[in-house]
Structure 1
Amino acid sequence: MSEELAAFLRARLDEEAEVARAAAAKRGGGKWTAVLGDDGLTSVCGEGDGRSVPAILDPDDHETSVHIARHDPARVLREVGAKRALLAEHQPQDGDCTVCALSEDFDDDADGNREWFRRAKPWPCPSVRLLATEHADHPDYKETWRP
């Protein structure tokens, strides 16, 4: 299951990056901004390129256009990079996560002395499972991955 979840996440991140790159190329790159036109219709355009997404939003729904612009391709690519770094950091080793550990605990050693220890969390750890929940609506997502 663990490698399957990691492969699932990598595939979703690849898809997001591909869509973001295509959108950036189509809209001329640059930072996206929401534009409220003279006709009251709202659109999203790339910085300084003069091209815009067709105005399909209600004139009273400028906030949706602002939301779309806020999640421009450059931001999506930064998010994909951050998620890839998290996935790369949280790797399996002997069935446990190399980063995550359960709460600190004390136990008695063979001589009766109290000793501090940390046990690793099983992999896929909650952090990797949480990354996958963003894609819970994808047909390949498995409920067993839910944290």
Structure 2
Amino acid sequence: MTNDLVAFLRARLDESAQIARQAERATGSADWRADWRQVAENRFDARIISAPDKPVFDGYGRIDAAEFASRQDPARVLADIEADRALLAQYEAVADMDTEDAEPEFAYGRAVGLGVAVCYRALKYANHTDYREEWRP
């Protein structure tokens, strides 16, 4: 199970990184931010821009939606992916010691703890067709 879970999570991270890099290349920047201006009494022009003030998305929209979307910029996505990859590398180093029954020895405790962490990080891909319910923590 552990080798399959590691391979599954690596594949999802690679997919996410590829999409983030494509967005970065398409917009010319990895850092996006929300920008808006009031255009009428109860109407705002909300947009997402990349440096230097190049619109990623332009149009009338909700400020909170634009703010949320801007926080999904390639830089943040790639940083999240790197954190997941670091966690995965730590787990891979001790995955052969992972067991359902935690042993009192440190190495087994570390392996079980990292295994649980990897399972939780994989949850964000639970709707993927290759995700297995046995990985659900």
- Shorter chain as normaliser: what TM range? 0.7 to 0.9
* Matched residues, number: 129
Provide closer, same or farther for how the CA distance between residues 52 and 128 of structure 1 changes in structure 2, counting only shifts above 3 A: closer
Q: Aligned pair 1:36/2:42, yes or no? A: no
User: Helix, strand or coil for the counterpart of 2:54?
Assistant: coil
**Structure 2 residues without counterparts, runs of 5 or longer:** none
Larger strand share, 1 or 2:
1
TM-score normalized by the length of structure 2: 0.80
Q: Is the 8 A contact 1:20 1:76 kept in 2?
A: yes
Q: Is the 8 A contact 1:9 1:132 kept in 2?
A: yes
Report which of the two structures shows the higher radius of gyration computed on alpha carbons. 1
In the alignment, which residue of structure 1 is the partner of 2:118?
Answer: 128
**Structure 1 residues without counterparts, runs of 5 or longer:** 105-116
Instruction: Please say which of residues 124-133 and 80-89 is displaced more in the overlay.
Output: 124-133
In the alignment, which residue of structure 2 is the partner of 1:111?
Answer: none
Larger helix share, 1 or 2:
2
How far apart in 1 are the matches of 2:4 and 2:27? 35
Q: Once the 2 structures are TM-superposed, how far is the Cα of residue 128 of structure 1 from its aligned partner?
A: 1.4
Q: Is the 8 A contact 1:28 1:51 kept in 2?
A: no
Show the 5 A alignment for 1:1-147: 1-39=1-39, 40-55=44-59, 57=61, 61-91=62-92, 93=94, 95-97=96-98, 102=102, 104=104, 117-118=105-106, 120-121=108-109, 125-147=115-137
Q: Is the 8 A contact 1:43 1:65 kept in 2?
A: yes
TM-score normalized by the length of structure 1: 0.75
How far apart in 1 are the matches of 2:69 and 2:63? 10
Measured on the aligned residues, the alpha-carbon RMSD in Å equals 2.5
